[in-house]
Amino acid sequence: MSSQPPSSDLPFTGERFVPGARGEIWVEHWHRYHFASRFAAGKRVVDAACGEGYGSALLARVATHVTGADISAQAIAHARDTYADRPNLSFVEASCDRLPLEDASVDLFVTFETVEHIAAQEAFVAEIARVLRPEGVLLMSCPNRLEYSDRRSFANEFHVKELYREELERLVALRFPHTRWYGQRPSFFSVIAPEPKADLGHLVEVGEEAPADDTPALASPLYFLVAASRSAASLGMLPATLSVLADRGDWVHRDYEKVMKMMQDASRHGERLQASLEERERTMVATMSELARAHAEVESAREREHAAQAAREAERRAHVEAIDRRDREIVRRRGLGWWLRLPFVRLGLLDEGRR
């Protein structure tokens, strides 16, 4: 089944997945439904909180009948229109804790990433138990609060109450005494698969610091998937084998490479900017040093000019005073008394300076 492109009547908001959305969320959601489809063959199935309907349609390929339920009238209208060609698929607008289904009418109850959006979680589980046959199976997923939120310091605005594993375990055990647990974490995988198909799985998980040290289990799942039933025998059909969703077109890895290239280009651009800034800083420091030297030279020249001006002013005043004395002397010598005293001055009988 090919994914439908995002529709304008049901845009991607982050609250629900729609086909066409890319990245981690694409891998997570499609993998869950492919995993569930292994157990849906020949069964009457409910897909609670079905959203856009893509998962219900996938399950309907093998199930006897699938009922997709969602509280959103917009989502149900979209699903009915988009998947109208599936005769064994129907959609109902309903709350997850009040489903329009008869008691003990369902073989497989699928609900992925739903319980954390609901405040009345016990009522939800009670409703699941009501519609499931005694030997029916619940397949539920929810975020692992420890990994999803706590360790990532992340808060999903659409989640009402996330659960730790022990909380989810207690919640499910209220109605279903038998469980089988699975962990899910989106990642990049190197897949080695036998041909024509794989019958069993082999998981080897390694860390970056010690890749030689492997473990046969997923250490820190981001999501829990729990299969639960009131019948232990019903869980016998669920294998303990590994499930891997492989990206046929390798677009996830290509997107990763694009992002890595963008980061590398940004890093190189940042390095060039840093080098340019450092060069500009050096140029600015040199320019400031030149300006400081030029300023010092200007100040020194200004001081020399002030000193020269003071010297010229002193010289001018002295010259003016000399001219004044000469003029006074000329005026004095123009008088008759000076000429009458001159012979006596020359004989030394009078001081020239006396009038």
- CB-based burial of residue 3 (10 Å sphere; 0-12 exposed, 13-18 middle, 19+ buried)? middle
248/158 Cα distance (integer angstroms) = 31
The residue ranges of every structural domain in the chain are 24-191+200-246, 247-325
289/306 Cα distance (integer angstroms) = 25
pLDDT tens per residue across all 355 residues of the chain: 333 444 556 766 666 777 877 677 888 888 899 889 989 999 999 999 999 999 999 999 999 999 999 999 999 999 999 999 999 999 999 999 999 999 999 999 999 999 999 999 999 999 999 999 999 999 999 999 999 899 989 898 999 999 999 999 999 999 999 999 999 987 766 666 666 665 667 666 666 676 566 676 767 788 888 999 999 989 887 767 777 776 666 666 677 778 878 988 898 899 899 999 999 999 999 999 999 999 999 999 899 999 889 889 898 888 888 888 887 777 766 666 766 776 776 676 656 555 5
DSSP code string of 266-297: HHHHHHHHHHHHHHHHHHHHHHHHHHHHHHHH
| 8-state DSSP, 7 | B
Tell how strand 65-70 and strand 89-93 pair up: parallel
DSSP code string of 100-120: S--TT-EEEEEEES-GGG-S-
- Would you state the pLDDT for residue 38? 87
How many CB atoms sit inside 10 A of residue 55's CB?
25
| 8-state DSSP, 51 | T
304/44 Cα distance (integer angstroms) = 105
- Would you state the pLDDT for residue 203? 65
209/198 Cα distance (integer angstroms) = 30
- Would you state the pLDDT for residue 245? 74
Contacts of 56 (CB under 8 A, 6+ apart): 47, 50, 66, 67, 68, 79, 83, 89, 91
Considering the four listed CATH numbers 2.40.37.10, 2.30.30.60, 3.30.465.10, 3.40.50.150, the one that applies to the domain covering 24-191+200-246 is 3.40.50.150
